[in-house]
Amino acid sequence: MRILYASTAMVVLSAQAVAQTPLKTLPYPQTKKVDTVTTYFGTKVADPYRWLENDQAADTKSWVQEENKVTQHYLAQIPFRETIRKRLETLWNYEKYGAPYKEGKYTYFTKNTGLQSQSVLYRQLGNGAPEVFLDPNSFSKDGTTSLAGINFTKDGSLAAYQISEGGSDWRKVIVMRAADKTIVGDTLKDVKFSGLAWKGNDGFYYSSYDKPLAGSQLAGKTQIHKLYYHKLGTKQSTDKLVFGGEKTPRRYIGASLTEDERFLVISGANTTTGNELYIQDLSKANSPIVQVVDNEKNEVSVLDNVGSKLYIQTNLNAPNGKVVTVDAANPKSANWKDLIPESKNVLNATTGGGKIFANYLKDATSLIEQYAMSGKKERSIALPSVGSAGGFGTKKEEKETYYTFTSYIYPPTIFKYDIATGKSTVYKKAGVQFDPTQYESKQVFYTSKDGTRIPMIITHKKGLVMNGKNPTMMYAYGGFNSSVTPGFSTSTIVLLENGGIYAVPNLRGGGEYGEKWHLAGTKLQKQNVFDDYIAAAEYLVKNNYTSKYYLAISGGSNGGLLVGATMAQRPEMFKVAFPAVGVMDMLRYNQFTAGAGWAYDYGTAQDSKEMFEYLYKYSPYHALKPANYPATMVTTADHDDRVVPAHSFKFASKLQESQQGSAPVLIRVETKAGHGAGRSTAQVISEQADKWSFMFQNMNLTPYQAN
């Protein structure tokens, strides 16, 4: 086999079957079963693998070690695994920049030289030489402690930054002086799901939960969020409770200050969709916290203010979103005035340079318009092509802002945008070894089971023969009002340059077409999401892009649920499946960490007999029956305290028990890693190499095979 590394113009055969020696799979661990039964509305539900929920127990740890041994033994036999890993390492090895932003007199930006474990935060004074401001690679020897956010005071003299250890959502907060990088005060501990909002240079607001009891830090429920104020130079134990707690219990509380620091803005919610809104006028001593919106049915946030005039983005009575204004003295929704009315496209607005930037989603791609604060449209911003643009946020006094544009075949490029003229210029272009002219990415529309029209973007090499034999990866999410927009993936190059196809359908449950689209994939409509995904697979096969012998499916978190449920319902449709950090036990997901907050999308088994029966039917863990399932590699991590690894542990055990065919069922458990964010570059490359190797092996294909 000849390896072609010369350039991104490498020509590789469209996937052709190559005879391979079947790999030997070690016997799966003899996973014990326990007599655990829970009764829901008169129905007894067995849960034989519930003991795996105790991720700290010795027998669970032993099971993980044995399963990882099976997985690594299998992967080690794949002859081209190292070829793929080296190719990924080569592809990853280019400078990566984050969009710059101003804090005080400095411009800050992130940079990774290529293969650094974590990106480094730099700063630059004018046109002077950049200097390292904060290097997360120094946080830990193995690169698994990451920078999870940083916030500066308005004058840029102080910075508070969060660190995540091993990918956990639990964070530490450290304060430093920007001038000399010296640490100020004590490190705050046990902070979770929090922003940091500075009030002058005196202190900042942050949110957290009471830490679960020892031994249950990962899986323990986190129900009551609390907003605190930390005054610099004081102990965390003396921090003042501002909102939340037992008197006003909310599962999620966020806080921010308007740029002039006049208003404290508080968001309170019990689910991941919708929120209450409160404001406090900090310019007046002892001013009360005033409620603006008193229900959690809609999304509402404060964009900006001019004096007492608030600019609010909301989907209240506007499922696709709009911008309204109101006087802070009487901020109830009855007094709102439309500034940027709802349109047929979904709105996400930002502000900067005294302007409002309306970032619309048009069929899951970006359309950007600039407005004056008066609501007058000034221009549509020309983008390089059809794709995703993000950024456009900066301070009021700035004359320019930055945005990043990308698509499935357009590597992330940072543009500098002149706010007065509307001119965009390239600031930093990605140096990845990829030639976009060799590939095409097109949007198609297909019909789901109930007749709904669903968009899907399909990407592949130009001139690819549609003979039903192309290795295809279909990725989707479909939930929580989250929109999947076009974005470049260095990892996906491995698929594309080997004659593969990358397909991304925009399923219901997401936010691509507003709140109505989201609701159509929630609770008793959740099956729509799975039907949309199945219909996408049927479209790809019908149109000869691929066939069931060359089709893989992938998704993470809620997308892991999607993969698990779909393969349980239609196991014959797919050759390979990658459910990652998935929500697999739909009857018990709300018993762990902040899982109860997902009930808006899912409903719970306790809600009603109807809701229980609906969840029980599609719950991946429970829906598995003896059948021929696709080759499956379940992935999770030992520090995932959002979707606890027990979901994946139980699903993998049941799948190994239920597999009637010869395809392998593996579980890959990453160590010192969480739900996904903050992983080291080495961890990411290793997992991606294993994923592509597993896929090609089980499609009986050899990548980088010479013509």
Kindly list the catalytic residues: 557, 675
Bridge partner residues of 346 (DSSP): 361
Residue 375: both structure tokens together:
């609501």
> How far is Cα 638 from Cα 655, in angstroms, rounded to an integer?
20
Closest residue by Cα to residue 570 from 536, 594, 543: 536
- Determine contact, residues 64/638, Cβ cutoff 8 Å: yes
- Determine contact, residues 81/668, Cβ cutoff 8 Å: no
Question: What is the enclosing helix (H) or strand (E) of 337?
Answer: strand 337-340
Closest residue by Cα to residue 672 from 141, 148, 189: 141
Question: What is the enclosing helix (H) or strand (E) of 517?
Answer: helix 515-519
> How far is Cα 177 from Cα 695, in angstroms, rounded to an integer?
49
> How far is Cα 229 from Cα 160, in angstroms, rounded to an integer?
13
> How far is Cα 396 from Cα 355, in angstroms, rounded to an integer?
8
> How far is Cα 143 from Cα 419, in angstroms, rounded to an integer?
38
Question: What is the enclosing helix (H) or strand (E) of 553?
Answer: strand 551-556
Q: What are phi and psi of 452, to 5 degrees?
A: -70, 140
Give 134's contacts (C-beta < 8 A, 6+ positions apart).
120, 121, 147, 150, 161, 181
> How far is Cα 238 from Cα 229, in angstroms, rounded to an integer?
9
Sign of CA dihedral 462, 466, 472, 478: positive
Sheet holding 439-447, edge to edge: 439-447, 453-461, 501-505, 472-475, 551-556, 576-580, 631-637, 665-670
> How far is Cα 344 from Cα 238, in angstroms, rounded to an integer?
49
Bridge partner residues of 151 (DSSP): 160
Long-range contacts of 132-138, Cβ-Cβ distance < 8 Å, separation of 24 or more: 133/108, 133/178, 133/181, 134/161, 134/181, 136/163
Q: How far is CA 33 from CA 30, 54, 275, 568, 659, in A?
A: 9, 14, 42, 21, 17
Residue 20: both structure tokens together:
């391979």
Question: How crowded is residue 654: how many other Cβ atoms within 10 Å of its Cβ?
Answer: 23
CA angle 60, 61, 63 (to 5 degrees): 65
The single-letter DSSP state of residue 686 is H
- CB-count exposure of residue 143 (10 Å: 0-12, 13-18, 19+): buried
Q: Is 404 helix (H, G, I), strand (E, B) or coil?
A: strand
Name residue, tokens 């023969």. 465
Q: At what angle do helices 646-658 and 558-569 cross, to 10 degrees?
A: 10
Q: What are phi and psi of 545, to 5 degrees?
A: -65, -40
The single-letter DSSP state of residue 23 is P
Residue 636: alpha-carbon gap to chain centroid: 15
- Determine contact, residues 579/565, Cβ cutoff 8 Å: no
